[in-house]
Structures are given as C-alpha cells and as structure tokens.
Structure 1
Amino acid sequence: MLRSLECPPAEGRGEDPRVAGLKSAVARLRRELAAYRSELTDRAVAEEEIAGLAALAAEGSPDPARLRRSLLLIAGAVGSVSALAGGMGEVRRAVEQFDSPAPAV
C-alpha cells in the first residue's frame, strides 16, 4: 500500500476522526479508480465527485447533505463495478459517520 498517498493519522492534530476517515476512504477510492483500466462511461463524473469529496474533507467540517449527494453521484457513475466495491463501501461508511454528532476530540 502506498502510504504517501494517504493522510497521516489524525492523532494529536485535533482533527475530527470522521474527517480523517473520509480523507483516507476518498484516497483509497481515487487509487482504485485510477487503477481500473476498463472503460467507464461516467468516469469523469466519478473523478470530479471524488475530487469534490476530497475538497470537502480538506475543509474540515463537510456538509453531510453534500457528502451524501457526492456519494450518490459516484455510485451512479461507477455502477456495480466489483473492483471498486471496497473503496465505495469505505467511502459510504465514512459519509455515514457524518449523520451523527462529532465525537469529542
């Protein structure tokens, strides 16, 4: 696994662990999509929304509604590609974490 493409652990930085998880999940999905060489009709849509999720995570307190919208667009763009299922699942779980209050840091 390429650690340089992932975010460093959030420990000690005061970062919301949900944001750190989202950053990590988005990085994984981005890598998996880049490695998937078969044609995807809506690859550009998926890549754009993944970039949007990364930007939202970088802001530090993303809007849950915007996260869910991006997740739905990405899921629609990649369809049921099994090679991307792990990354999609991780992003989905990370997005779902924003439906509950932020944990104490």
Structure 2
Amino acid sequence: MTALREAVSRLRRELAVYPSEFPERAIAEDELAALQVMANSGTPELRRLRRSLLLIAGSAGSVSALSGGLAQVRRAVELFGQLPVD
C-alpha cells in the first residue's frame, strides 16, 4: 500500500507543477484523487485500480514529463496482482 500512496503522491505533485494544459488533465487529476482515496482506505479494489491506471495513462501518457511518475504508479498497481480470468 505504501508504494501506491508514494507513487500517486509523486504523480499528483508532478501534474500540479506541470505548466501546460492538456485536454484530459482533469481526468488524470480525478483518477489520481480516486487512487489516493483507495490507497488511504487500505482496501483497494483491483478492477478499480486498473481502470484508474488506464484512464490516467490515456489522459496523461503522452506527456513525457510525467512518464516517470506514471511508470511508478503502474508498477505500484501491478504489485496487487492480476485480475482473475472470468
């Protein structure tokens, strides 16, 4: 859980100081806030974690200045394992 909290916090800080606007910035900010709540709750839902990660990657993934923070969030989400096959 610590890795997720740290990764989300880092990416939120990087996004906050990123000087340029981009069309889906609000989506990234909203999903990072949702990840922060899940990380702080102590019981994140894997499907929701992965959904948030996909939305963040889709909205901010093209911003090279955020790539390190985004990769850290991805690694933290992957620590929770794989979704079961239905």
Is TM > 0.5 for Structure 1 vs Structure 2? yes
Q: Equivalences for 1:2-21 in 2 at 5 Å? A: 19-21=1-3
User: Counterparts of 2:61 and 2:21 in 1: how far apart (Å)?
Assistant: 12
Structure 1 residues 13-62: Cα deviation after superposition (integer angstroms, max 9, x where no partner):
xxxxxx11000000000000011111110111110000000000011020
| 1:69 and 2:46 correspond | no
SS for the counterpart of 2:62 is coil
| 1:55 and 2:37 correspond | yes
Q: Percent identity?
A: 60
Query: 2:22 is matched with which residue?
Result: 40
5+ residue gaps, structure 2: none
Does the Cα contact within 8 Å between 2:61 and 2:70 map onto a contact in 1? no
User: Counterparts of 2:59 and 2:34 in 1: how far apart (Å)?
Assistant: 14
Query: 2:64 is matched with which residue?
Result: 82
Q: Which has the higher helix share?
A: 2
Cα root mean square deviation, aligned: 0.9
- Highest Rg: 1 or 2? 1
Report how many aligned residue pairs link the two structures: 82
User: Under a length normalisation based on structure 2, what TM-score does the superposition of the two structures give?
Assistant: 0.91
Query: 1:91 is matched with which residue?
Result: 73
User: Counterparts of 2:61 and 2:77 in 1: how far apart (Å)?
Assistant: 18
